[in-house]
Amino acid sequence: MAPVTVLVASSVEIDFLYISCEICSFCIVFVFLYIIFSCKMSVSNLKEELDTMNFKLTQIANLVKNWQMEQIQRNGRMRKKFSDDEDDIMSSDDEEQKQAQKFIGIMRKLPYYEPSQNMLKAISADFNDESLAVDNKTFSSYLKTQQLDSENVCSVLSTLLNIEDISNMQLYAQLMQPKVYLRKISKLCYSFVVCSKADINIEDVVVPNVDEAVLIPKASLEEAPPSKNAILSLLPHKHESLPSKNPKRRFVANVEQVTRTSIQLKFKRGTLNGDLSLTEPYFVILRSRRTAFRFMYRAMQLLQESPCLRRYLFPTKPLPIVMPRVNLSSNLILFNDTIASNMEQLQAVHQIVNGPSKEGPYIVFGPPGTGKTTTIVEAILQLRLRQPRSRILVTAGSNSACDTIAVRICKYFASNERLQAHLMKRAKESRLVTEDVELKHQLIRLFSRSVYAKGLNSVEPLLLSHSNCAKHEYEHLRVDKLRKYGIIVATLCTVGRLVTDNVGKFNFFTHVFIDEAGASTEPEALVGIVGIKQQEECHVILSGDHKQLGAVIKNNRAANLGLRHSLMERLLRCEMYAVDANGNYDHTLQTRLRQNYRSHPAIVGLFNKLYYNNELIAQAPPSQVNLAANWRMLSNSNFPILFQATHGVTRREDHSTSSLNMLEAQVVCWYVKRLLSFGLGGGNCIQQTDIGIVAPYAAQCKLLNELLRDQGYYDVEVGSVENYQGREKPIIIATLVRSFANIGFMRNPRRVNVLLSRAKSLMILIGNPVTLRHHRDINYVIHQCKLHGNYIFKKRNGEQRPRFLKDLVEDDDVVDDQCESDEEDNFWYAKMPQDIPVSFPKSPHGAKANENGNGNGTNDRSKSKSRNRSDSFATESLTESSSSSTSIQSSNSPNSISVGNLNSAMANLTLLSPEKITVHSNFLIACAAASEFTKQKLLQLQ
């Protein structure tokens, strides 16, 4: 026992807990060895040895007790030596301790955060400036500046969250069911018929396995009828906690299934004391648990108590410094060798591993196909390889984004021999020295209970084996178990639950990776940071593309006031993250990926010009993206983008706000059948899994799935734009649905960016060009298809139209459609964010528009109209000029136009007037027979 005595006597400066653990560990080993040894002893010898061991253990306990007393006396003597100034320091320490206790107190609770009376009153005023400024000086000041800073961020974002939260609650308030009779399905399951309003589809509002229903009996309803303000009725009521036998008891059940006409409920075990009455009507309230909103409200509270973290999230520009670059010559053996040839990817990996700046979050800006996920996975693996003590949290707003990263990491752990050998070697060393995790605890994918309830059939078996559902049942892991893992992967909402249990205690995490950061609002991202980053050495890495799909925001007012902006987007507008005229930036704070490895150069060229200022570089291997080079449907094989013009009818699904277009769906199925039957030529056969169909509306997705299954195509994937974000397919077929109607949320340029950047080898767009011409980005794509001869459409009688001409419409249709377009520009998603430049050919009209506007609101619409009048691709119909009106439009008879007159008139035709002319059928015939010079001139004038 001498070594133990030395340990205690010589370790006065060591934490007592550490000493105790060492002593206990020694004792356990001692006992274990002793028992093994004593098995060969006689009973009398065993008793003697046990007495000896008991005596020595008592000695150890006395040593520890004496050490404790010495520490107390020593601390007492030190306190007496403190001067008055030192007393102030102790007082400051006490304040910090109180602040820490307050922080933990907020973190360990999750209130309901009921809407304030002022916010409820603001509903009737549509949340105008005056109503939001009542008793809120901070927000009143923000309305004037529209600038977030470290002082107002918590108050402003909380107010914006309130607007969005209340708007969401208003939807549920309209779904109250006054007289509901239950039907029993099983012991804990019941269902009832829904009576919903015609303009509300209950499937679009109520979320299965997330939302809940409150069954109010007659006795409770009489004593506490619903509030006049229906929103308040959605909040928890005291009758919900009454004993189950009480006639006033309100029963709360989980919503298990939702259809348009019925809802199925499931009660928790122990909730019901017997069966519910099937003959008594209930008043049913359908409500959201508001869990995500409550996590965000709490994050704002915690951030208010964290001034250091607020400074980190609002970095200020220090004195001018030279843009630093990481030394890339260091010996870093990559798991993915392709990164070595990409300077931006290599730069990001080196910077993350060596330690990014502590002044602010590190950003990896990754446009489509530039290897953002590859870069992040490589950085995480290198951290675990080179820094055994690293503890990493990987999070994102969606389960799909989390799964994508987790699966890739798991595959490396399962198949990379170098990684396996290194981890095995390190596992043989003492974990007290390496501070590493056990070999089997490298990664845990933490699924939520709601995801488990929906089913995990689509989750890869490898990932499932590294999750809390590995035994095919949901396991709630306590924080002490989670801290045994090196990498924790979970959604932002699940991280909010972990914060409640103080998972970041003891400065646990060293790195926090937030993927798809551009698709989350700033409050959502803060859920993954506040309470997790509890030390300066914990680095936050944001990865994503703020030019693709952002968060879904239902309230236009909240979005326009700033809720639509992500944390990543706001930081990129800061001075510290600025890019100078030569393309230089601070590499300790960000890396901007540029090389696209996904798509054919022509496909990259579309979204590169529209959204990325032509900064992307197409680097995909030709052998992988030239699959459509021999496809007969393409007139120009060097431009594998085809636009199929259709003129179907958009209609709404019954009892739903979702749209569908039968004609477009049938055309999609025709292309699928042709591709699967005949391939792409050149021996390139197509499998069903090679084709991805994108439809912006759920009703169109449902229709397409039905039509494809009727033809036996079960493996052709159909999904929304959101489903395809971050993914790719060799062939993408997109149906745009809207026809002779406003464009809807497809007006969102970020949505179009995602749509255009999914295809690797071939993209087929199907839509109505008459309607889509009002969207300048889609209209640009249509124009490019025409220029390259890949634009297909027919007359109603089946005759092929001249390919170089655009569709012509009646003047009345143009006016009506334009009015609808103007109205839609008021929606927040129709506006291009300020930091997302869109390149358009310059013209005198466009330049004048740019001088007069500031990029928002009405000026945006005036810019759009100016561009439509001046750009070569921004208008559908021919425009007249004063110099040519006599030669083309003065005659009432279309027969007066001849090919010769047309050729001579075209040479001097110019654009001066924005008015549209009427074009007759004989004019089309004349154009079709005109010379190549005339055709080119027509294209220039359009």
Distance CA 225, CA 178 (A): 11
Could you tell me where the DSSP H helices lie in 188-306?
A: 202-205, 218-223, 291-304
Q: In degrees rounded to 5, what are phi and psi of residue 152?
A: -105, -5
Q: Which residues of 610-622 are buried (b: 16+ CB within 10 A; e: fewer)?
A: bbbeeebebbbee
Residue 119 burial (CB < 10 Å; 0-12/13-18/19+)? buried
Distance CA 772, CA 274 (A): 59
Cβ–Cβ < 8 Å for 906, 934:
yes
| Torsion (CA) 284, 288, 289, 294 in degrees, nearest 10 | -140
Chain centroid to CA 924: how far?
Answer: 48
Cβ–Cβ < 8 Å for 746, 603:
no
Chain centroid to CA 483: how far?
Answer: 26
Grouping H, G, I as helix, E, B as strand and the rest as coil, residue 644 is: strand
Q: In degrees rounded to 5, what are phi and psi of residue 357?
A: -60, 145
Cβ–Cβ < 8 Å for 302, 531:
yes
Cross-strand partners of 286: 213
Neighbouring residues of 830: CB distance < 8 A, sequence distance ≥ 6 = 747, 748, 824
Distance CA 607, CA 611 (A): 6
Distance CA 271, CA 749 (A): 48
Q: Per-residue pLDDT tens for 356-411?
A: 889 999 999 999 999 999 999 999 999 999 999 999 999 999 999 999 999 999 99
Distance CA 20, CA 245 (A): 52
Q: What is the mean pLDDT of each run of 10 residues along the chain (942 residues)?
A: 38 39 49 49 59 68 68 57 48 65 78 92 93 93 93 96 96 92 92 80 89 95 91 94 92 92 91 85 94 95 93 79 53 89 94 92 95 96 93 94 95 92 86 84 93 87 93 89 93 93 82 95 96 91 93 92 95 90 88 95 96 93 93 93 93 80 95 94 91 93 94 94 90 93 82 94 95 91 94 64 33 32 45 42 38 41 39 31 33 39 46 38 46 55 48
Longest CA pairwise span in the chain (Å): 128
Distance CA 763, CA 749 (A): 18
Grouping H, G, I as helix, E, B as strand and the rest as coil, residue 108 is: coil
Return the percent helix, strand and coil in the chain, to nearest 5: 45, 10, 40
pTM here is 0.76
Neighbouring residues of 819: CB distance < 8 A, sequence distance ≥ 6 = none
Cβ–Cβ < 8 Å for 873, 783:
yes
Residue 747 DSSP symbol: G
Q: Structure tokens of 579?
A: 């890019």
**What pLDDT, on the 0 to 100 scale, is given for residue 830?**
52
Distance CA 171, CA 202 (A): 9
Upper half-sphere CA count for residue 361 (Cβ side, 13 Å): 29
Q: Among 717, 736, 737, which residue's Cα sits nearest to residue 727?
A: 717
CB atoms within 10 A of CB 527: 29
Kindly tell me the number of DSSP H helices and DSSP E strands found in the chain. 39, 24
Distance CA 643, CA 782 (A): 7
Cβ–Cβ < 8 Å for 936, 927:
no
Q: Among 741, 803, 816, which residue's Cα sits nearest to residue 772?
A: 741
Cross-strand partners of 645: 767
Cβ–Cβ < 8 Å for 301, 106:
yes
Could you tell me where the DSSP H helices lie in 336-448?
A: 343-354, 372-386, 399-415, 417-427, 431-434
Cβ–Cβ < 8 Å for 520, 492:
yes
Amino acid at 410: C
Cα–Cα distances (Å) from 107 to 292, 450, 479, in that order, read 15, 23, 14
Cα–Cα distances (Å) from 595 to 255, 608, 706, 749, in that order, read 46, 11, 39, 22
CB atoms within 10 A of CB 714: 9
Distance CA 788, CA 59 (A): 91
Distance CA 895, CA 808 (A): 19
Grouping H, G, I as helix, E, B as strand and the rest as coil, residue 835 is: coil
Cβ–Cβ < 8 Å for 873, 772:
no
Cross-strand partners of 284: 177, 215
Q: Structure tokens of 167?
A: 């708007």
Q: Structure tokens of 822?
A: 């103007």
Cβ–Cβ < 8 Å for 760, 599:
yes
Which residue is it, tokens 């949340």? 127
Distance CA 762, CA 633 (A): 11
